[in-house]
Structure 1
Amino acid sequence: MGDSEVIGIIADDITGGSDVAAALSAAGRRTVQVVGVPGPDLELPPHDAVVVSLKTRSVPPEEAVAESLAALRGLRDLGARRIGFKICSTFDSTPRGNIGPVGLALADALGSGITLVCPAAPANGRTVYQGNLFVHDLPLAESSLARHPLNPMTDSNLVRLLTAQTTAEVGLVDHSRVRSGAPAVRARLADLRAAGARFAVADALCRDDLLVLADAIGDAAFWIGANGLHAAAGAAQPRAAQPGAASHRTVPADAAGPGPCPGPGDFADTIEGPTFIVAGSCSDATRGQVATFRESGPAIALDLARVRDDAGYAAEVVARALTLLSDSPAVLVHSAVDARPPAEEAEAAEEAEAGTEAGTGTGPTGLGSAIETFLAELAAGVVDGGIRRLVVAGGETSGAVLQRLGVRALQLGGPIAPGVPWTRSLGPTELALALKSGNFGGPDFFLKAVAR
């Protein structure tokens, strides 16, 4: 493939990688998702978009920068010359980073004089107006993300958030300019660059706004955003025709929501058998999905004390899950316990998901890390027992599961919900995997995944 044909995306977590890979696939690109920094020995099927999914959202900034730059080098080796940095549509980060430090390091490496930033994802209810991020109808700081146990988002203003994370100047491309069209956006970017700004936060309320921003980006080497901007930027560039290439399509009307995906199709239809579901996320959305599934399907709530202290507990849970799966189309294992008084349950859920020392926000340790490792061992155990369909809820948990299973690359399949596709592992053991961000999907998500 020619250099101009391959778009590379660096995602800061696993489920975010699946999200943007699904959006690029729906926009008409043959997309492969790579888990971790791609090495020279990695063999990929024909593609014109590669998403590298890292686990850098909540690690120390220096570590996130180093791994992201390594991913950039890997993408360049794969032929990518235009690079996007995929961030969470709720700007999930600590006051120190990692969006600012990683974004600036990538911009420097790519020679980007000014980088457009827009985490809007209208299909998922995320919009930006006057630099403020909204989650459906609520400012970010008034949404449930303000109580996020790992990275609580207590400010809705992206210009302030990004300014706090980097020494670079940050400007705003407001909605009036976006609605005036790509030339007005380009003029604003030029003015900001002349004034010394390195980042430009852009407003976007709908699909049309994202298409304007993609037009304004043009053939820029670097941009930062959520699934909507990446899909629009990917679809905006023509590609040379190749044998077997998917035909070029524009962004679907739901701004990179679910749509027909080129490629092998719905892997859940071709990889048969019962489905093993693990939920490491304790977000409001995932907790609702757990409650809905438990009304009709078998579920195992983890004993968190035994997770930490009982070396034989994992084998016990695997055996119980395999027994249940012999008579049921699915079984769920989840970390959130809802048999306690609400205040105690919320405290336990936050500890389980975050597992951080108070106030550090530097990454999972303690109980959170123990749960991730435990759930990954469960996944490996059921795969050893013959299960080939897995659904994983939570970005940190998804990363742990893929690492434990040795999965290095994924091929995209059909969507289950906006931002959550079925994928197929590339390697000796073929698995159908659905990797879900904690905040994605409706209450019946697990039931829909099992039915696909």
Structure 2
Amino acid sequence: MGAGLPDGPLVAFYGDDFTGSAATMEALTFAGLPSALFFAAPTAEQLARFPGLRGIGIAGIARSQTPAWMQTHLPPIYEALRETAAPILHYKICSTFDSAPHVGSIGAAIDIGQAIFANSWVPLVTAAPAIHRYQAFGNLFATVAGRGFRLDRHPTMSRHPVTPMHEADLGLHLGKQTKRSIDVVDFVAMKTGQADAVMAARRAAGAEILSLDIVDQETLAEAGRLVWENREACQFAVGSQGLEYALIAYFQKRSWIPAQAQAPMAAGVSQIVGVSGSCSPVTAEQLSWADANGFRTLPLDATLAVDERAWDAEIARAVAQALGVLSEGASPILYTARGPDDPSAHTLRPAVEAAGVAMDLVNDRIGNGLGRILDRTLGEAGLHRGIIAGGDTSSHAALAMGVYALTAVAATVPGAALNKAYSDDAAHRDLELALKGGQMGTPDYFGLIRAGGRDSSSTL
């Protein structure tokens, strides 16, 4: 394997949230490129525990942070990526381009990266057909229940509580976050053999960021080719896990790695525990499926997080309730909202404003609390498999559990695998975690994690 590929890590990435970071690590691993995801820049001792890595990831929380936070925290992370000597250094974003000038700014992340890497161009690869994301003429589309939506008309992203998408043209959206010139290599050029000429013309005209269309497997592999063949030393790239999917497709096309083998499964278990901070309709549907299939869904009052003592009491109540459900033979899933139309999804902000506290502090407190609920419930029940749903939630919740790394062990649906967790705490020796973005997964997702994954030959 890899006759046409250099030795050592091929991709080193920083993910701006934990679920997307885990999805990127998963994509590489299941393509036969062993990868690990660390929750901070790994030490030499930690890296030594994972020999032969082809992908090295660092999961982060930049998606929920300000540009000022990025100015402080991203430079040392970018330097850690450079130290891996991987040819592709990837700032990983959400496949729905979650960002705004004031929070999760992709433009700020690019500006900071370019000040360090100074590449003559920055590839932007956002679409990923495997997870139903498509880009045409620079506009991003995503499907819900089999129906495609332009992102500014997407039922979730158009009214996202933090970073609503009002523009599907990624160049226009990103243009509000950076002054760097942005252009597109469109899918027509890719399909007619004109991609190289169009790319050269765009760069000659001054474009520094080039957004690459992807609408199918052919353009996916072509996007991978454009990035790989035009890479510079320490090539800084931006995109979703679509970047890794594109590179994998190109490597497979060149027979540098074999065609993707059947993804692995893990042993099933009788009970699991889950927590959810997602208000996505996809997660809401999964909660409804869970109620009908041996799970018990339990609401949490997130407004109590405006007061630390009240939130601690809510956490204690939730753990006791979850343990009671486990004693009855069911699997508890504790959630803060059941879809965007749940009244609880609209009560948090007024409660925060009335209390006069910062929204980011409350959001951090909620995520941390969900991690504490999951950790305590698993520990007291003697269980070892859990789920965290929600991109921003996963970041804070996983950190609260004292985990320092993940490796993918079982496939469910693309972007939401079951992972082995690594911790210096002996109590977490057998811990398995699934990190699921709000919009990821089929209705039976919680059941798939309980069962240990899905046979990749089955129909999704």
**What is the CA-CA distance between 1:334 and the residue it aligns to?**
0.9
Matched ranges for 1:274-313 at <5 A: 274-296=271-293, 297-306=295-304, 308=307, 309=310, 311-313=312-314
Cα-Cα RMSD: 2.7
SS of residue in 2 equivalent to 1:133: strand
**What is the CA-CA distance between 1:282 and the residue it aligns to?**
0.9
Q: Which moved more, 1:3-12 or 1:408-417?
A: 3-12
Residues 147 and 218 of structure 1: CA distance in aligned 2, closer, same or farther (over 3 Å): same
Residues 351 and 200 of structure 1: CA distance in aligned 2, closer, same or farther (over 3 Å): farther
Residues 105 and 369 of structure 1: CA distance in aligned 2, closer, same or farther (over 3 Å): closer
Residues 351 and 131 of structure 1: CA distance in aligned 2, closer, same or farther (over 3 Å): farther
Choose from 209, 220, 242 the match for 2:219.
Answer: 209
**What is the CA-CA distance between 1:376 and the residue it aligns to?**
1.7
Matched, 1:133 2:133: no
Partner of 1:373: 368
Matched ranges for 1:200-349 at <5 A: 200-219=210-229, 220=231, 221-234=235-248, 236=250, 248-250=257-259, 252=260, 260-261=262-263, 265-266=264-265, 268-269=266-267, 274-296=271-293, 297-306=295-304, 308=307, 309=310, 311-336=312-337, 345-346=342-343, 348-349=344-345
- Counterpart CA distance in 1 for 2:210 and 2:178 is 13
Partner of 1:195: 205
Choose from 172, 175, 182 the match for 2:184.
Answer: 172
Residues 10 and 186 of structure 1: CA distance in aligned 2, closer, same or farther (over 3 Å): farther
- Counterpart CA distance in 2 for 1:350 and 1:202 is 36
Q: Which moved more, 1:31-40 or 1:152-161?
A: 31-40
Matched, 1:105 2:108: no
Matched, 1:384 2:379: yes
**What is the CA-CA distance between 1:16 and the residue it aligns to?**
0.3
Matched, 1:57 2:57: no
Q: How many residues are paired up?
A: 421
| 1:39-96 superposed Cα distances (whole Å, 9 cap, x missing partner) | 4443341211112111111200132244333222222333423212221111111144
Matched, 1:396 2:407: no
- Counterpart CA distance in 2 for 1:131 and 1:434 is 32
Q: Which moved more, 1:51-60 or 1:65-74?
A: 65-74
Point out where structure 2 has 5 or more consecutive residues left out of the alignment. Answer: 453-460
Q: Which moved more, 1:114-123 or 1:149-158?
A: 114-123
- Counterpart CA distance in 1 for 2:136 and 2:450 is 37
Partner of 1:78: 84
SS of residue in 1 equivalent to 2:434: strand
- Counterpart CA distance in 1 for 2:242 and 2:66 is 27
Partner of 1:449: 449
Residues 277 and 230 of structure 1: CA distance in aligned 2, closer, same or farther (over 3 Å): same
- Aligned letter for 2:257? H
- Counterpart CA distance in 2 for 1:72 and 1:356 is 34
| 1:92-140 superposed Cα distances (whole Å, 9 cap, x missing partner) | 1114451111123223422311112121111222111111111122111
| 1:312-332 superposed Cα distances (whole Å, 9 cap, x missing partner) | 332232122123223425211
Matched, 1:160 2:165: no
- Counterpart CA distance in 2 for 1:93 and 1:313 is 31
**What is the CA-CA distance between 1:212 and the residue it aligns to?**
0.5
- Name segments (4+ residues, structure 1) moved above 6 Å: 353-358
- Aligned letter for 2:218? D
- Counterpart CA distance in 2 for 1:158 and 1:325 is 45
Partner of 1:143: 154
**What is the CA-CA distance between 1:390 and the residue it aligns to?**
0.5
> Contact (CA 8 Å) 1:32, 1:410: kept in 2 or not?
yes
Partner of 1:31: 35
**What is the CA-CA distance between 1:142 and the residue it aligns to?**
0.7
- Aligned letter for 1:178? M
**What is the CA-CA distance between 1:11 and the residue it aligns to?**
1.1
Matched, 1:45 2:46: no
- Counterpart CA distance in 2 for 1:353 and 1:91 is 23
Residues 353 and 192 of structure 1: CA distance in aligned 2, closer, same or farther (over 3 Å): farther
- Counterpart CA distance in 2 for 1:131 and 1:354 is 36
Partner of 1:243: none
Choose from 118, 121, 132 the match for 1:114.
Answer: 121
Residues 353 and 319 of structure 1: CA distance in aligned 2, closer, same or farther (over 3 Å): same
Partner of 1:433: 433
- Counterpart CA distance in 1 for 2:347 and 2:12 is 35
Point out where structure 1 has 5 or more consecutive residues left out of the alignment. Answer: 239-246, 253-258
